[in-house]
Structure 1
Amino acid sequence: MSRLDRTSAEPLPRAARLAAAALGRRWKLPAPLGPVKVLRDQDAPMRDGTTLRADVYLPSTDGPHPTVLLRSPYGRGAAFAVSMAVPFAERGYAVVMQSVRGTFGSGGEFSPVVHEEHDGQDTVVWLREQPWFDGRLATLGPSYLGYTQWALALDPPPELKAMVLHIGPHDLAQAGMIDGAFQLTNLSIWTDLIAHQEQVGFLRGLIRLGTAEQRLTPFLGDLPLQGLAERFGGNPAPWFDEWLSHPDLEDPYWDRYRATPAVHSSTVPTLLIGGWQDWFVEQTLYQYAALRDRGVDVGMTIGPWAHLAIDPAVTTPESLAWLNTHLPVAGAEPSEPRKARVQVFVTGARTWRKLPDWPPATADRTWYLAPDGRLADEAPAEAGETTFRYDPMDPTPSVGGRVLAGSAGQRDNRELEARDDVRTFTTPALRKPVEVQGGVKVRLHIESDNPYADLFLRICDVEPNGKSINLTDRLVRLDPAPAEQPSKGPRVVETTLPDTAHRFRAGHRIRLQVSGGAHPRYARNLGTGEPVGEATHGVPVTHRICSGGAAPSSITLPAV
């Protein structure tokens, strides 16, 4: 294979230089070491004869460089390059932005994540022959680019010295079926993005992404769900109907969508960056715990962000510092090792906390559900109940939370909580602040008259003005088997909501919100037991939440 001609690199366009300089000042990055040049449309051969295309951003200094690899399905446009490649190239790294198979000039057919293990390995084989590669490699990037890093780490090449993952999953199957329910909003928006991204320009693509929730929501109420992606238009997206037809995560079909073994075998120093309202926050926390437990050099930062709102003013300096610790650049002062392994943003307190580990030591504090909608310090002595009815043909809507939309994150839930199919349980105004760090446990004694049903559980912070702000939530798919047995009283539902870090201020109230679903974030449980993609009608369910007496339902917060 012929070696690339280093002199074929072209200068970075003036607009890109000015934008990079502005971002460097805004993000408070170290001073650049020099200008950047670009090798456009470099071809890397794969083992099956397919060729993948990349742009390479190089420092102007002579000699080979430590190299940062970004493998993306979202193109190599100027905006992506200026924010994700140029800041690192200006500070001494060769940065390779490669389009994955079947996207933006790379050959082959795109199939989500299934080719990334071998294509990543073959890309490293190509890197070894490049004159600008000094034999030290790091990987970097958000979301899908995070998965490509775990795919490479399934069999990490010896050159791989560091990984930096922003809001990135290792298990696409689990991400698509969080809590056992099809992630309808997220998978629809992502599929629509992929199906149209090469048919529209960058600005129009941003507009489409910003309006995706509004554009697609009318389709998401249609039944059956099979064929939904075709109604979105754009390039074919056969994976959507395939995923609908494989609701069982134990199905071997899903094996090709997982890089989980890498999380349990990798010894590569890894920086994890996530958000409390991110689609993949549970996977980020899982990755951290698995690496930490094996003594791997791992750091973790969790901000207040949703998936589309991660803050590069935080993530870029931290990423650069991690790289400069593990792949120091000649002419730059090496960064000191990260002093605090964990850094989390505490919402409510609106501050960052540096911690030696996650979760920190906490003391459980329990409140008990009362039939009048209170959360009480002690369980009511007398038994009581709270009922509500969920109708899948008029489903409880989703508000905020972990979705790929501008409406994601913390939102006012008052309108939602006023619905007849939502119940809330709330503490009195707090006399002292309560700070939570970790997962909230919910224990409910409940009876349901339909064996096929869900519960959507959410913790909210109620401000003195009545505004109810969501913090963390989970859908629980009830196992139909116990409900088919002769009745022996209410079943016990126990679950832990995804971790959070939040301070309930004095004067605020803590609220548990309970409903039968959150549509279209989760595909609704139609109550018939039919396959999720094929069902065409729904059957309602009435839930009876028991409290007090012999069946004390409760929530338990990990309080600092």
Structure 2
Amino acid sequence: MTSRTHSSKPPLSSRMMRATWRGLPAKRHDVGWEPGLPVPAADGSPLITDHYFPRAEGDFPTLLVRSPYGRGLPWSPMYGLLFAEQGFHVVLQSCRGTGGSGGAFDLWCNEAADGRATVSWLREQPWFNGTLGTVGPSYLGYVQWALAVDPPPELKAMVVQVGLHDPHALFHAHGALHLETALAVGAGMTYQHQGMAPFLRATLRLQRRLRAATTAQPLRGAYASALGGEVPWLDDVMTHPDAEDAYWHGASLAHVAERLSVPTSLITGWHDALADQTFEQYARLRRAGCETALLVGPWTHTSALQQGWPEVFTESLAWLRAHLHADPSGLRPTRVRVHVGGENAWRDLDDWPPATAADSWFPTVQGHLIRQAPTDSAPLTSFRYDPDDPTPSLGGPLLSRTAGPRDNSSLEARKDVLTFTSAPLTEPMDILGPVSARLNISTDTGHADVFTRLCDVDPQGRSINICDGLGRLRTDGQEPSPITVPMSSTAHRFAVGHRIRWQISAGAHPRYARNPGNGDSPVDATTFTPVRITLHTDSTLTLPMHTHSSGTR
């Protein structure tokens, strides 16, 4: 049964944005809209909700989309309008304390209870047919995992797009603060639910004041001018680097995937700031025997929902139609589809990661990268890292517009960046899976970060980043200390004539907060100590060499 009372056409701005998209499935229904419905949370706070629905006779399943970023652009056309056109009721709700909803927004604390309260409300609606799915990106993924902590029986499918399940890992990596990401999240959570204009002004202000906010000594509180005021929860996440701290208790929802039986589709991009979280949840779902699918495109966190939207929407729609409409015709034949960089093609795989052979590469004193292992662990080369002139970040998995693949040539010209490069390849080489580095390092202060990156160098000399990672090192005086740094995952083909490059430095600022070099907290440090870092010969770059393909399109 379809609701028609007090309904109108969706907002003009949403219909105008809808008209700009190309490459989407043809619409099946006209859409009606009931805006501003107050849904009572467990404590009575009104959760303001918009209802989109097909203007057609018959029963339709419902999609729940809960967001702290408002219910206007782009969420209204991307989720409300597009999915209702395809035969779904869509319930687009502002999380408490955002977008006019009552109560106070408390990052990740109320989503499970508020999600359950919303499902209780749905059960009372005459148009709800008892079949429910969830969909959404980023923090909208977190609220899906929160509902799945104790999944209601009506929940039949989830689609988590560039999604979050572990807030600590969003803000910290091995003790290092994801500084630029923290500020971007602060701006998004504070302003995006107020509308596009306030959010755009906040984003531009952050860009203008980013350098001042990220080079202040101390960092604590320095973001206020860049974000237009204090953000109490941001102070908290920046000053609690330890995942075991009581502050983070209950924040991670990683465990949900370990016992989930709701069919779940996961979507990410190779340069998504949350890609590693997606791969972790995929592995957990597979171990739990849960029906799951994985799509990984050539995207960043934001471009997945822009340039990548036709693929992301089509994938999401096929999964929801299969599990809520009992129409599996749009599902692909394999569980995994990844975009292979360098080859610029999609590849269908039975699982992730596919079977690979560990391919070890070693640095030489001449700056080469070779497959022949060294016979000792002698010092190879050293460089000086000065926190007052930190090695800059360039591209990679960020939330900002500077994310993604970039030419690293200017970065690699710096004296505080080491590079080791293979000979030109005489045959193509495919790597599919997790990349890692084991570095044997000594320092003169005992405190340093190590940033390690894999690049593809083309015949013209452009060095394009593929994947990377950072580890925090505490050494005992001048004695070398081994550290293993996970460098995320990739699917990439090194073409004939291209070279493999291993890039090593002691930071990537402002992506990561500077290591002060003296053991002080990066958030509270007011003095910095330059560090001499020495790399030893028995350091290893390990690539997952793929020996066969399962099909390309």
Report the alpha carbon displacement of residue 390 of structure 1 after superposing the two structures with TM. 0.7
Deviates more, 1:228-237 or 1:208-217: 208-217
Paired residue type of 1:509: R
Is contact 1:192–1:229 with CA below 8 Å preserved after alignment?
A: no
> Residue 20 in 1 paired to residue 18 in 2?
yes
Counterpart of 2:368 (choices 374, 390, 395) is 374
Partner of 1:360: 354
Q: Deviations over 1:501-559 (max 9, x none)?
A: 11111111101111111111011111222223211111111111111xxxx22212111
Counterpart of 1:148 (choices 98, 119, 143) is 143
Distance 1:43 1:340, change over 3 A: same
Deviates more, 1:364-373 or 1:164-173: 364-373
> Residue 278 in 1 paired to residue 275 in 2?
no
Paired residue type of 1:249: A
Paired residue type of 1:525: N
TM-score, structure 2 normalization: 0.94
Report the alpha carbon displacement of residue 5 of structure 1 after superposing the two structures with TM. 6.9
Report the alpha carbon displacement of residue 483 of structure 1 after superposing the two structures with TM. 1.2
Is contact 1:445–1:492 with CA below 8 Å preserved after alignment?
A: yes
Report the alpha carbon displacement of residue 211 of structure 1 after superposing the two structures with TM. 7.1
Q: Deviations over 1:60-115 (max 9, x none)?
A: 11344200011001111143211222111011100011000111110111121111
Distance 1:309 1:458, change over 3 A: same
Partner of 1:463: 458
Partner of 2:424: 429
Report the alpha carbon displacement of residue 196 of structure 1 after superposing the two structures with TM. 3.1
**1:197-276 mapped onto 2 (5 Å cutoff):** 197=192, 201-203=195-197, 205-206=199-200, 208-209=202-203, 212-234=206-228, 236-276=230-270
Report the alpha carbon displacement of residue 167 of structure 1 after superposing the two structures with TM. 0.4
Q: Secondary structure of the residue that 1:197 maps to in structure 2? A: helix
Partner of 1:483: 476
Report the alpha carbon displacement of residue 402 of structure 1 after superposing the two structures with TM. 1.0
Partner of 2:315: 318
Counterpart of 1:394 (choices 389, 393, 416) is 389
Report the Cα distance in structure 1 between the residues aligned to 2:229 and 2:29, rounded to whole angstroms. 41
Partner of 1:291: 285
Partner of 1:534: 524
> Residue 558 in 1 paired to residue 541 in 2?
no
Runs of 5+ consecutive residues of structure 1 not aligned to the other structure: none
Distance 1:12 1:491, change over 3 A: closer
Report the Cα distance in structure 1 between the residues aligned to 2:114 and 2:222, rounded to whole angstroms. 30
Distance 1:61 1:176, change over 3 A: same
Partner of 1:519: 509
Distance 1:379 1:316, change over 3 A: same
Q: Deviations over 1:184-228 (max 9, x none)?
A: 0011012023333355x4256346536744542332111111112
Report the Cα distance in structure 1 between the residues aligned to 2:311 and 2:331, rounded to whole angstroms. 17
Partner of 1:183: 178
Report the Cα distance in structure 2 between the residues aligned to 1:12 and 1:245, rounded to whole angstroms. 43
Distance 1:342 1:5, change over 3 A: closer
Partner of 2:111: 116
TM-score, structure 1 normalization: 0.93
Report the Cα distance in structure 2 between the residues aligned to 1:534 and 1:384, rounded to whole angstroms. 33
Partner of 2:549: none
Is contact 2:66–2:95 with CA below 8 Å preserved after alignment?
A: yes
Report the alpha carbon displacement of residue 17 of structure 1 after superposing the two structures with TM. 4.0
Report the Cα distance in structure 1 between the residues aligned to 2:12 and 2:138, rounded to whole angstroms. 29
Q: Secondary structure of the residue that 2:33 maps to in structure 1? A: strand
Report the Cα distance in structure 1 between the residues aligned to 2:114 and 2:193, rounded to whole angstroms. 21
Is contact 2:257–2:288 with CA below 8 Å preserved after alignment?
A: no
Is contact 1:371–1:384 with CA below 8 Å preserved after alignment?
A: no
Q: Deviations over 1:320-374 (max 9, x none)?
A: 1101100007xxx653544110000011110100000011111222221101111
Distance 1:122 1:235, change over 3 A: farther
Distance 1:520 1:15, change over 3 A: closer
Report the Cα distance in structure 1 between the residues aligned to 2:41 and 2:435, rounded to whole angstroms. 47
Paired residue type of 1:27: G
Report the Cα distance in structure 1 between the residues aligned to 2:16 and 2:508, rounded to whole angstroms. 44
Q: Secondary structure of the residue that 1:134 maps to in structure 2? A: coil
Report the Cα distance in structure 1 between the residues aligned to 2:230 and 2:91, rounded to whole angstroms. 28
> Residue 7 in 1 paired to residue 24 in 2?
no
Distance 1:407 1:214, change over 3 A: farther
The aligned length equals: 541
Report the Cα distance in structure 2 between the residues aligned to 1:433 and 1:384, rounded to whole angstroms. 32
Paired residue type of 1:267: S
Partner of 1:419: 414
Partner of 2:551: none
> Residue 506 in 1 paired to residue 500 in 2?
no
Report the alpha carbon displacement of residue 130 of structure 1 after superposing the two structures with TM. 1.0
Q: Deviations over 1:423-473 (max 9, x none)?
A: 111101111111110122312222111112110000111111111111111
Counterpart of 2:38 (choices 34, 43, 46) is 43
Deviates more, 1:48-57 or 1:255-264: 255-264
Paired residue type of 1:11: K
**1:158-173 mapped onto 2 (5 Å cutoff):** 158-173=153-168
Quick one: percent identity of the two aligned structures?
A: 45
Q: Secondary structure of the residue that 1:247 maps to in structure 2? A: coil
Report the Cα distance in structure 2 between the residues aligned to 1:16 and 1:493, rounded to whole angstroms. 50
Distance 1:384 1:223, change over 3 A: closer
Report the Cα distance in structure 2 between the residues aligned to 1:19 and 1:422, rounded to whole angstroms. 44
Report the Cα distance in structure 1 between the residues aligned to 2:375 and 2:77, rounded to whole angstroms. 63
Distance 1:235 1:75, change over 3 A: farther
Runs of 5+ consecutive residues of structure 2 not aligned to the other structure: 547-553
Report the alpha carbon displacement of residue 268 of structure 1 after superposing the two structures with TM. 0.6
Query: What is the root-mean-square deviation of aligned Cα atoms in Å?
Result: 1.9
Deviates more, 1:77-86 or 1:340-349: 77-86
Paired residue type of 1:313: P
Partner of 2:132: 137
Counterpart of 2:48 (choices 46, 53, 65) is 53
Is contact 2:46–2:101 with CA below 8 Å preserved after alignment?
A: yes
Report the alpha carbon displacement of residue 497 of structure 1 after superposing the two structures with TM. 1.5
Paired residue type of 1:483: D
Paired residue type of 1:516: A
Distance 1:75 1:369, change over 3 A: same
Is contact 1:177–1:183 with CA below 8 Å preserved after alignment?
A: yes
Distance 1:182 1:36, change over 3 A: same
Distance 1:127 1:51, change over 3 A: same
Deviates more, 1:245-254 or 1:37-46: 245-254
Q: Secondary structure of the residue that 2:129 maps to in structure 1? A: strand
